[in-house]
Structure 1
Amino acid sequence: MQSGFTQSIAFARGRALASGPVVLLINPPLWSAHAPYLAIPLLAGVLREKGKPVRCLDLNIEFLDLVVSARGLSEIGKLLERRTAKDIIERQAIEQAKVVCASAIARVDSARAILRSFDSLTNHHEFNQAKITMRDALRVISASFDGLRFDLTTEYFDYLAPSSAAIRRAATTPLSLYRWAFEKIIPDAIADPDIGLVGISISAETQLTPAVTAATLIKALRPNLKIVVGGNYTTRMMSAWSGELHPFHDIFDYCILYEGEEALPALYERLFERRLGPIPGLSEVIAGNTVHTPPVKTALKHAAKPAFDLIPLEKYFSPGPVLPVFSSRGCAWKCAFCSIPYASGSFRRRTASEVAAEIAELARLHGSRYFMFVDEIMTIRSLTDVSRELIAIGSPIKWYAETRFSQQWTQDIADELYRAGCRRLNFGLESYNQRILDLMEKEVQVEYIEDNLEICLKAGIAVHLFAILGFPGETLEEAARTVAFCERVVERSRTVYGNAYSSWGASRFTVDVHSPVGKDPERFGVRLVEPPENHDLSLSREIDYVHSGGSIFEQVGADMNPRARNMSFISQVSRFHRSLSTASEEEAFLRTCLGTGLPGVARRSLSVWERLPERNIALSPEVTICHTQRSVLNASVHAHTVIYDPRTGYLIELPIPDLNLDPLRIKQSHESVVQCLAPHIGGQADETVAALCRFGMFDLSEPLAAVDFDSPNFSVIVAEAHVHTQPSCPGNRVLVSGITGVASELDGPGLLLWEAIASPDGLTAGHLKSLMDIAVDKARFTGDVRTLLECGLAFAREDRTRVAADAERLIAAAG
């Protein structure tokens, strides 16, 4: 076991329970960092109602709370210093992490506090700074362990594959982030001798390696402690091993397939209360073979209240908390691409009055007004029945859910949902083509999709559209139609209904072995590629497109959606700046509820650069200086001195190794700073100092003047250095700043504007004024100029002396 600090876990024990061995329920990473997972509190509630002693270890959030903290990063930073790279790309990732490590350690605890506060949703500047810090922290974590790419929702290990052997190796290697963290958390968590059974929920593929790692460590510390696993992913994975010894038999003593409300208490009674008889849904090893006992359906009437008091809600990285609840289980449809019916069983509903009463009670107990329904799908009937009950009890809560398109949607229904607190609905669009919807067996008609969305938007409900691209048989034109429709809906939400919170996302079609396509590929006209023999955990299959009509994906990137090519270009230019933490559903929902607006890209102040040799400046104490063995922006270039501002994420590299910039932290004249740098970077010194001032890395003795477009207080607008360009759609161009990482796509008028700015003489104030006078859309024209300036792609410069400029303005004012 590695030395170092341990993470102290304080368990909330709840009310007194009957004596007996304690069940410890564990939710492993990697799950959401923004809201709790329902399964563990729900099972804890079931055990509590039956008088079984129970505790919860939300290992997911305890793990994140440890590694994304000043304490955790300080320890991880020591590992970073010892890392050696296998190749040039890994070396660059390590160098990038070293640039941000010290500032991330200094700022991460404050950033976490900001993200947990409702104030951050309205203070966009503060929120953006916190997100930059979190990005930097995740970069340090990723670079400190071999082959790891880590963010708050997914992880990737080079040494992992969908094979049990690879996961077993990952569970014991000291190179694993999970092993490193769990050795600091789990010993205290299982030290109590009263703990007699550990239950681990594995509901997603991202949780399998951490679950095996945790179980391996628990067995090493307490070999006789029984471990049972369950969850959706467990059910799908273990079903393949009926009649044979499964590969985790020595660390998982039992598996519960399908639902656990009946099986877990029954297993407890067998182990500790001498219960006899079969346990529904239990999978165990008997005489060297895996034996499954048939499951039973759980009755949802009078479902147990989730024991959210047993998990640390305050540690999640979003305000709220946004609590999960459910009104139904399973799905009444059997879409061709989906495996949910396989693992969730038949569709069942709770009574609406019980759901509404539970929400009101949870709101009272935990002080939350925000809820998410985690039903696989909420039918129109579920939505309306629950809404009427919430309205009847006068509940002030807000909520969101996932639903489907239907002929049953009416304006009255949507309005009623809004009155009941619904502020966002997720729709499984999948495709905006009837032929593809029919192939998917969606039982949805295109003719009412747009009407359904208009009804919701008119009621004030934001929508999110899920799309799937590349379903067998889909053409390029059909995929393009789906993308265009999604974009049109989001734009219409914003411009027609004033709702900026609608969104959409697309994923590539993959075959789940438990879906209808996976079970009967011939019916869908495809041939599946079997995985390698050692990939015994693989639950997905690739399609043999050579024998299945070809793939659209090579064309999708190049033709159907130029954004794919644009994003590849942007990523190459601004790899350092790319986010490792995307906006969560919970954040989008809370912004919708509170009307906070969207934070957008952090932008620099709109100011005029004026070179005054006598102006006093000093490098900001917040700015960090690093000496790297390789460029952090171009992996093929060697040693640099890097200047980084952790408040904005702005980065400027100087191609000089070991350049001592500490003297620049002392306030001195602009001219003195230029002279200090000139021996090292020659003629670039003046422009480098100017850029550092414009991007806020120098503290100025007096602020720069704000840009005035009506009475121009600048001579010319010119392009910033480090701006990269690429043609986009016909007549368009993408610009990316290597300093800020911000990208902007220009259409025809915007491109003409940029060509003037990027010319040797730049765009003079006089020329700008004449263009504004003849612009058809003056507001749009001014907005384009502002965007280029604020995004760090161009800057306004005053070339005249201050006296001459003031005199000209006085003359103009007198005239």
Structure 2
Amino acid sequence: MNITIVFPPAADPSLPYGALPLLGAVLKRAGYEDVSLRDVNLEAFDDLWRPDALAEALHREDVPGRTSATAAEVIADIDAARAILRDPVDFYDPMKLLFAKRLFHLAGDLLSASHPTVRFGKYSYSPSSYDSYEEIEAAVRTDAGPLARYFETTTVPSLLAAAPKVIGISVPYFSQLIPAFILADRIRAADPDIHLTFGGPVITWGKEVLMADGRFGRWLDSFFVGEADETFLHFVDALHGKRDLGAVANMVRYVDGGVVSQLDDHYQLDLDWSPTPDFTMMPMDRYFAPKRIICLMPTRGCYFNKCAFCNYAFIKMTPYRMRSPQLLAEDVATIRQATGEDVFSFESDVMLPLHLKQISEALISRGTDIKWHGVARFEKGMTDELFATMRQAGCVRLYMGMESANERVLKAMVKGTDRQRMSDILRMCSSAGISVEAGVFSGFPSETAEEADDTYRFVRDHRHVIARADVGTFRLLKGAPIADTPEKYGIVVLGDPKKRWYHLDFRHTAPEKVSVGAAAMERIQRLYPEVALIDVPEDILYNADVAPDAFRRFFAAAGEPATPSAAVPDEATVALSTDCELQRVHVANSGAVHFDDPAAQDARPVFEVSRMTLTIAVDRAASALYPLSRAEEFVLRRLGEGPMTAAGLRAEIQEYAESAPDGDDKVDVSLLDHLVALGVVVVRVAGVVAVAAP
């Protein structure tokens, strides 16, 4: 009896998702050998991000809004982009990596361009709502997009070739939810006798919607809630007659048009019960990275569990626990030997300082010789000694949720920290050689624009110790304390939360007193332009194999020409290089990246509540791109209107500088000479190009 577990599109194709090798190891340890782990997300990117598939997508139907030059560039260069992402040398050349990432995102836009409601890419597919059977059924019909044909012609036939008794689909990201239902719909049509079951965080979050309507049985026979390491095994045992199917904890079944709930509030997994995940069951050589980051979860749950905006208590169902540090170190050593991979991501919700110390000591004692990324809070128990131990154990990077740097807002959020502690810990991490990605967002109810600016100023002043900023906008989440007591925060929740999957709508009771602070967040985003194209896994690899803060230093250097520039004569004519194109890059809070016009931003998924926008200059001849400051964008867009004299442009730059909207923008008349040296502006004398970058 074959058991197949699937990771569906659309997520990141650069690394294996950790739940699949964990479940595969659980089943193998129990004696089930006929187990298939299918990273269909990776398969779709690998099969469709190719010249032939892109050319077919371009010519199958009219592709609105795509110039032939852009489409031709993507089709011609996508193989080079694929090679760069996997090459152990070219990947670590930041300009080549940026070139490859831009093409990768443009390829997704090209594939889905003839499907007006779909944006296929990393963490992006359907914009439809998903709060009821009716909404999901409509999305399966209207947002089928390019994946429907791929599923029908490639994925489903290959799945059925193994004659599976069960297909489990894991859904950890909202960008996968509608594709998962589309895939289930195609599997059901091809073989209705296969038991289809869903699991993963997104399914747990939507349990109330899924349990409220038996019609979901059209696609599913069951779904799992919470941690399924052990319960999925019990389910497989039941199929083999070893236990009662009705006694499998935290499983919900669709039976004869009805819903049978087997939720058990008292069930709790012992993390030491789980085996070492078997990553050799995954197609490790196909991922789009020179190294495959290994994701493990040393802890589960949140020990603090008080933040007003967070709903961990609602979504996690079980308390904070840690796997034995010795077992974790043995996991790492075993996986390292089996796969050869030496970069790990400890993707816990958060880890206690004491547990960070114990894990680090266990890794040192075992001699694992790895580099790793982790997640932590700004806590009292953090010291220079702790970070020195973590660095000795291989820690190169931490994600730390800062959220705000305004004292009143931090207290309203119940963050349990303050500005001084955050500043001290950032300094300690930097001194130890550990880079920090800080999570920040604006729009927390009652936050003012001035308070959001406090966060901006804190990040700006600590940019030397904050390597990357994860910028977003407040989202009201089902089960969060603020959603349960909205009156305390001056908001009113709209609609019935029980009928919503995860994200809630709300309004302010005194909107005139509130500012969303989006301008402050966009200014923070401009401090870290690499976030527009460089994803977290790539940042982790650069921190592991190059140096902490590698991208920030690269972008600081990239803004300076290789050789000093000579001043352009005032009487010369300057123009935008014919090889240069300005493109707007929209970075969503979900991690999706889109290149398009603002008008195309109206149709966005519910989970993409915010998008930050940057402009880049693409030098096609040099296969280079440069994120632009506001001042640089002003100059290049002005030249996009037509050539002008250098004296005239300098006068406009001076005028811009005197009224610059961003006081941190470096603006002076030498900006023109700088852009000429970079090659994005050319100088003409009597109509002939006289000066250009080498």
Checking the alignment, whether the CA contact within 8 Å between 2:278 and 2:335 is kept in structure 1 is no
Report the alpha carbon displacement of residue 119 of structure 1 after superposing the two structures with TM: 0.8
Report the alpha carbon displacement of residue 457 of structure 1 after superposing the two structures with TM: 0.6
2:346 equivalent to 1:346: no
Find the structure with the greater CA-based Rg.
Answer: 1
Give 1:47's aligned amino acid.
Answer: L
Report the alpha carbon displacement of residue 745 of structure 1 after superposing the two structures with TM: 7.8
**Aligned runs of 1:707-746 on 2, under 5 Å?**
731-732=659-660, 746=665
- Cα separation, partners in 2 of 1:144 and 1:644, compared to 1, 3 Å: farther
Quote the residue 1:585 is aligned against.
Answer: 536
Quote the residue 2:503 is aligned against.
Answer: 540
Q: 2:475 aligns with which of 496, 506, 510?
A: 510
Quote the residue 2:26 is aligned against.
Answer: 46
2:58 equivalent to 1:170: no
Distance 1:518 1:150 in 2: 32
Checking the alignment, whether the CA contact within 8 Å between 1:719 and 1:795 is kept in structure 2 is no
- SS of 1:153 mapped into structure 2: coil
Quote the residue 1:359 is aligned against.
Answer: 332
Checking the alignment, whether the CA contact within 8 Å between 2:81 and 2:104 is kept in structure 1 is yes
Give 1:321's aligned amino acid.
Answer: R
Report the alpha carbon displacement of residue 518 of structure 1 after superposing the two structures with TM: 1.9
Quote the residue 2:585 is aligned against.
Answer: none
- Cα separation, partners in 2 of 1:557 and 1:406, compared to 1, 3 Å: closer
Quote the residue 1:77 is aligned against.
Answer: 58
Report the alpha carbon displacement of residue 241 of structure 1 after superposing the two structures with TM: 5.0
Quote the residue 2:219 is aligned against.
Answer: 251
Report the alpha carbon displacement of residue 634 of structure 1 after superposing the two structures with TM: 12
- Cα separation, partners in 2 of 1:509 and 1:160, compared to 1, 3 Å: closer
Checking the alignment, whether the CA contact within 8 Å between 2:171 and 2:203 is kept in structure 1 is yes
Quote the residue 2:413 is aligned against.
Answer: 440
**Aligned runs of 1:104-253 on 2, under 5 Å?**
104-157=74-127, 162-173=131-142, 176-192=145-161, 194-242=163-211, 244-253=212-221
Give 1:341's aligned amino acid.
Answer: A
Q: Could you list the per-position Cα deviations for residues 763-815 of structure 1 after superposition, in whole angstroms to 9, with x for gaps in the alignment?
A: xxxxxxxxxxxxxxxxxxxxxx435531624649799999xx9xxxxxxxxxx
Q: Could you list the per-position Cα deviations for residues 150-199 of structure 1 after superposition, in whole angstroms to 9, with x for gaps in the alignment?
A: 33222344x55644324323324585122122123323322235410010
Distance 1:173 1:726 in 2: 51
Q: Could you tell which deviates more after superposition, 228-237 or 98-107?
A: 98-107
- SS of 1:248 mapped into structure 2: helix
**Aligned runs of 1:384-783 on 2, under 5 Å?**
384-490=357-463, 492-493=464-465, 502-530=467-495, 537-547=500-510, 550-553=513-516, 556-557=517-518, 560=520, 563=523, 582-595=533-546, 597-598=550-551, 599-600=554-555, 645=620, 648=623, 731-732=659-660, 746-747=665-666, 750-754=667-671
**Contiguous gaps of at least 5 residues in structure 2:** 569-576, 582-595, 600-617, 627-638
Checking the alignment, whether the CA contact within 8 Å between 2:375 and 2:400 is kept in structure 1 is yes
Q: Could you list the per-position Cα deviations for residues 10-38 of structure 1 after superposition, in whole angstroms to 9, with x for gaps in the alignment?
A: xxxxxxxxxxx111001111222222211
- SS of 1:109 mapped into structure 2: helix
Distance 1:507 1:116 in 2: 30
Quote the residue 2:606 is aligned against.
Answer: none
Q: Could you list the per-position Cα deviations for residues 231-271 of structure 1 after superposition, in whole angstroms to 9, with x for gaps in the alignment?
A: 111111123454x4344222110111111122211111222
- SS of 2:504 mapped into structure 1: strand
Q: 2:263 aligns with which of 294, 298, 306?
A: 294
- SS of 2:197 mapped into structure 1: strand
TM-score (norm 2): 0.80
Checking the alignment, whether the CA contact within 8 Å between 2:86 and 2:289 is kept in structure 1 is yes
Q: How many residues align?
A: 624
Checking the alignment, whether the CA contact within 8 Å between 1:204 and 1:233 is kept in structure 2 is yes
Give 1:267's aligned amino acid.
Answer: F
- Cα separation, partners in 2 of 1:282 and 1:634, compared to 1, 3 Å: closer
- SS of 1:314 mapped into structure 2: helix
Q: Could you list the per-position Cα deviations for residues 335-354 of structure 1 after superposition, in whole angstroms to 9, with x for gaps in the alignment?
A: 22112232222111111011
Quote the residue 1:786 is aligned against.
Answer: 674
- Cα separation, partners in 2 of 1:250 and 1:102, compared to 1, 3 Å: same
Give 1:61's aligned amino acid.
Answer: L
Checking the alignment, whether the CA contact within 8 Å between 2:471 and 2:525 is kept in structure 1 is no
Report the alpha carbon displacement of residue 538 of structure 1 after superposing the two structures with TM: 4.1
Distance 2:213 2:340 in 1: 47
- Cα separation, partners in 2 of 1:513 and 1:584, compared to 1, 3 Å: same
2:239 equivalent to 1:271: yes
- Cα separation, partners in 2 of 1:552 and 1:195, compared to 1, 3 Å: same
Checking the alignment, whether the CA contact within 8 Å between 1:378 and 1:403 is kept in structure 2 is yes
Give 1:528's aligned amino acid.
Answer: V
- Cα separation, partners in 2 of 1:565 and 1:227, compared to 1, 3 Å: closer
- SS of 2:303 mapped into structure 1: coil
Q: Could you list the per-position Cα deviations for residues 595-644 of structure 1 after superposition, in whole angstroms to 9, with x for gaps in the alignment?
A: 2633546998768999xxxxxxxx99x999xxxxxxx9999xxxxxxx99
- Cα separation, partners in 2 of 1:413 and 1:386, compared to 1, 3 Å: same
Checking the alignment, whether the CA contact within 8 Å between 1:34 and 1:318 is kept in structure 2 is yes
Distance 1:481 1:356 in 2: 41
Q: Could you list the per-position Cα deviations for residues 59-115 of structure 1 after superposition, in whole angstroms to 9, with x for gaps in the alignment?
A: 111111122222321221223x434xxxxxxx4x2x33x322223222212211211
Identity of aligned residues (%): 23
Quote the residue 1:280 is aligned against.
Answer: 249
Distance 2:544 2:23 in 1: 30
TM-score (norm 1): 0.69
Quote the residue 1:10 is aligned against.
Answer: none
Distance 1:382 1:566 in 2: 35
- Cα separation, partners in 2 of 1:798 and 1:116, compared to 1, 3 Å: farther
Q: Could you tell which deviates more after superposition, 585-594 or 128-137?
A: 128-137
Report the alpha carbon displacement of residue 364 of structure 1 after superposing the two structures with TM: 0.9
Checking the alignment, whether the CA contact within 8 Å between 1:720 and 1:792 is kept in structure 2 is no
| Pairwise CA RMSD | 3.9
- Cα separation, partners in 2 of 1:561 and 1:34, compared to 1, 3 Å: closer
Distance 1:464 1:348 in 2: 24
- Cα separation, partners in 2 of 1:725 and 1:650, compared to 1, 3 Å: farther
**Contiguous gaps of at least 5 residues in structure 1:** 1-20, 84-90, 494-500, 568-577, 611-618, 625-631, 636-642, 652-686, 692-715, 735-743, 758-784, 806-815
Distance 2:49 2:346 in 1: 28
Report the alpha carbon displacement of residue 44 of structure 1 after superposing the two structures with TM: 1.2
Checking the alignment, whether the CA contact within 8 Å between 1:219 and 1:251 is kept in structure 2 is yes
Distance 2:248 2:340 in 1: 38
